[in-house]
Structure 1
Amino acid sequence: MSTVFVVTAYGGPEGQQLSEREAPAPRAGEIAIEVRAAGVNPADGKRREGAFGTGGRLPLAMGLEASGVVTAVGEGTEGFAVGDAVLGAPARGLGAFAEHTVLTASRSVVKPAEISFADAATLPVAGTTAYDLIHQLGLTAGQAVLVLGAGGGVGHLALQVAAAHGLTVIGVASESKRVLVEATGAAFVPSGAGVAGRVREAAPEGVDLLADLVGGEPLRELAPAATSPAAIVSAADAETAAALGGAGREQSAGALAAVTSLVRDGLVDPHVTESVPLVRAAEALAAVEAGHSRGKTVIIP
């Protein structure tokens, strides 16, 4: 049997628990892995709450990104072999907060030896989101980007992806995240009352991309900082972004391989600050939901 962290009812954390299941087997186009690490994201809590729908079969296995070692390869699946170290996204809702899971082969890559399993586990969701946000508008070196929500796991990655692309980078986050943001080379602007004025001072000519990871009123307040409404891209609130004339983040097929290469080459550091055992998955998720993490949190089975 294999341990997995599940949700038995949509809603609050009271519906979460550890459970046992048979180690899942891969189908065509899938690879089974022994999980070495799983990234924790705000989206995990939203999924438990039913923000993405409540039609899924319960219990619902939690976790959206993982790294591990291949134990079996589905029929006709190419590019992977038993024993490969890999990272990717779980298939069929099988979750990542588990001792064993199955990944979708087309959403997985072989892990370079230079990258730890913990760092690798942050890339299938957080890493690709950051990469897509920064590259969606096709900016060129020297253009300016403002990352709203720069102190979180995805935001910190986005700052580094932007810097690696040669962009001028400004990060908006709480004062407690100043050191984290400035360590990437970005200009730091504290969030809170008066933030729009502070952003105008930092970027008087506006920014070519407003990369949003917060949404809602903070996004509306800073929208005028974009050189045009079309320069607004949100991974947190596509509806508000569209209402302002921008767009939601679009997923690109090559993002995982691209961001993995950036990490391998030392241009991006996932900044894993918390490694939590599977038995404490509920605590890890609660901390990420509360926004207390400075960097990325991973679960280690």
Structure 2
Amino acid sequence: MPKAYVFTRYGGPETEALIEVDRPRPGPGEVLIAVRAAGVNPVDWKQRTGYRRPGETDTRDFPAFFGNEVSGVVEELGEGVADFAVGEAVFGRPVVGGYSEYALLSVDLIARKPAGLSFADAATLPVAAVTAYDGIRQLDLPAGATLLVTGAGGGVGVAAVQIARAFGLKVVGVASEGKRDFLESLGAVHVASGPGWVERARAAAPDGVYDLVGGEVLAEAATLLDDRTRLITAGAPAEVVERLGGARVTRFRTSERLDAVARLVVDGALDPQVTRTFPLERAGEALRTVEEGHTRGKIVIEVAG
């Protein structure tokens, strides 16, 4: 039987386990893939604690799969699927599966993997890179404008910095001092996080802010803008940022968005910055690396070669 890394109830790491599961069967409009790689994101461990995305109301069944972005090879087609074929390399957001040997994907949330895109890099795109892309498009700043990104050293931040640069923006990245060289290598002006960061950033006179941290950092970042409609967040609930005059990032979970970020990678404008990989048997270690909050770039679980 295939293996999957799951959580058996809401709680902490003690709820996690690598178990054997039944091989999923694709329903109408779905494909089954043999997973090659899975991206690791903060939302994964947050869901283990009981977190739900805005609008989610369904009761979760246990054991519940970890993982919100995967790449792999099509193994089986569900009823009505005509645009994909068995043996094609694809990536997307799983309906079932994630940190697992097999996953189900909806044809609405899947795209073909270009030949120039590795499975590991493809597995980082559906959540982090698409979130970054959606936010940059939502701000719609003109070329030459200055964008400030808080939490710039994480998975979404690293993508946001590069995508903004590809769109002709100047970028100021707020992150720890230890990530200075890393962010500067991506073309961003680094501002050290921590006490006093907002005064250090004020000299850059940002035209827009993309917040990935929330809390006090979001509130402080809002003071940098005269026009609060140029304030967006993926790090705080909508009601919090709306009180500050800004908005939460509007997500477009579509195949077209997946294609767009994949093209950026193939064209050399976006490097997913996969900094560490772990085998499925060490999925818990991969998740702890992200949960501790000190990662640089993206962590990926490699399920098969």
Instruction: Give matches, 1:56-75, under 5 Å.
Output: 56-75=60-79
Q: Letter of the aligned partner of 1:259 in structure 2? A: V
- Distance across 2 between alignment mates of 1:236 and 1:248: 8
Match of 2:230 in 1: 231
Instruction: Tell me, yes or no, if structure 1 residue 262 matches structure 2 residue 264.
Output: yes
Runs of 4+ aligned residues of structure 1 deviating over 3 Å after TM superposition are none
Instruction: Tell me, yes or no, if structure 1 residue 36 matches structure 2 residue 36.
Output: yes
- Distance across 2 between alignment mates of 1:246 and 1:201: 21
Match of 1:176 in 2: 178
Helix, strand or coil for the counterpart of 1:136? Answer: helix
- Distance across 1 between alignment mates of 2:182 and 2:41: 18
Match of 1:196 in 2: 198
Instruction: String of CA shifts for 1:38-62, please: whole Å, max 9, x gaps.
Output: 0000000110000117821111111
| Residue 95 of structure 1: how far off its partner (Å) | 2.5
Instruction: Give matches, 1:144-223, under 5 Å.
Output: 144-203=146-205, 207-223=206-222
Match of 1:3 in 2: 3
- Distance across 1 between alignment mates of 2:179 and 2:121: 20
Match of 2:15 in 1: 15
Match of 1:102 in 2: 104
Q: TM-score, normalised by structure 1?
A: 0.96
| Residue 260 of structure 1: how far off its partner (Å) | 1.0
Helix, strand or coil for the counterpart of 2:33? Answer: strand
Q: TM-score, normalised by structure 2?
A: 0.94
- Distance across 2 between alignment mates of 1:114 and 1:216: 39
Instruction: String of CA shifts for 1:1-53, please: whole Å, max 9, x gaps.
Output: 11001110101110000111122111111111000000000000110000117
> Is the Cα contact below 8 Å between 1:148 and 1:213 reproduced in 2?
yes
- Distance across 1 between alignment mates of 2:226 and 2:186: 24
Q: Letter of the aligned partner of 2:263 in structure 1? A: S
| Residue 240 of structure 1: how far off its partner (Å) | 2.0
- Distance across 2 between alignment mates of 1:63 and 1:142: 37
Q: Letter of the aligned partner of 1:226 in structure 2? A: L
Match of 1:87 in 2: 91
- Distance across 2 between alignment mates of 1:227 and 1:121: 38
| Residue 202 of structure 1: how far off its partner (Å) | 2.3
- Distance across 2 between alignment mates of 1:31 and 1:200: 49
Structure 2 counterpart of 1:271, from 264, 270, 273: 273
Gaps of 5+ in 1: none
Q: Letter of the aligned partner of 1:11 in structure 2? A: G
Q: Letter of the aligned partner of 1:89 in structure 2? A: R
- Distance across 2 between alignment mates of 1:209 and 1:198: 16
Q: Letter of the aligned partner of 1:232 in structure 2? A: L
Aligned length: 296
> Is the Cα contact below 8 Å between 1:241 and 1:247 reproduced in 2?
yes
Instruction: String of CA shifts for 1:94-150, please: whole Å, max 9, x gaps.
Output: 221001111111111000010100000000111110101111122221122111100
Match of 1:25 in 2: 25
Match of 2:59 in 1: 55
- Distance across 2 between alignment mates of 1:143 and 1:222: 17
Match of 2:288 in 1: 286
Q: Letter of the aligned partner of 1:56 in structure 2? A: R
| Residue 80 of structure 1: how far off its partner (Å) | 1.0
Helix, strand or coil for the counterpart of 1:225? Answer: coil
Range with greater deviation from structure 2 (170-179 or 133-142): 133-142
- Distance across 2 between alignment mates of 1:95 and 1:212: 29
Q: Letter of the aligned partner of 2:185 in structure 1? A: A
Q: Letter of the aligned partner of 1:32 in structure 2? A: L
> Is the Cα contact below 8 Å between 1:10 and 1:54 reproduced in 2?
no
- Distance across 1 between alignment mates of 2:288 and 2:107: 30
Range with greater deviation from structure 2 (100-109 or 236-245): 236-245
- Distance across 2 between alignment mates of 1:44 and 1:299: 13
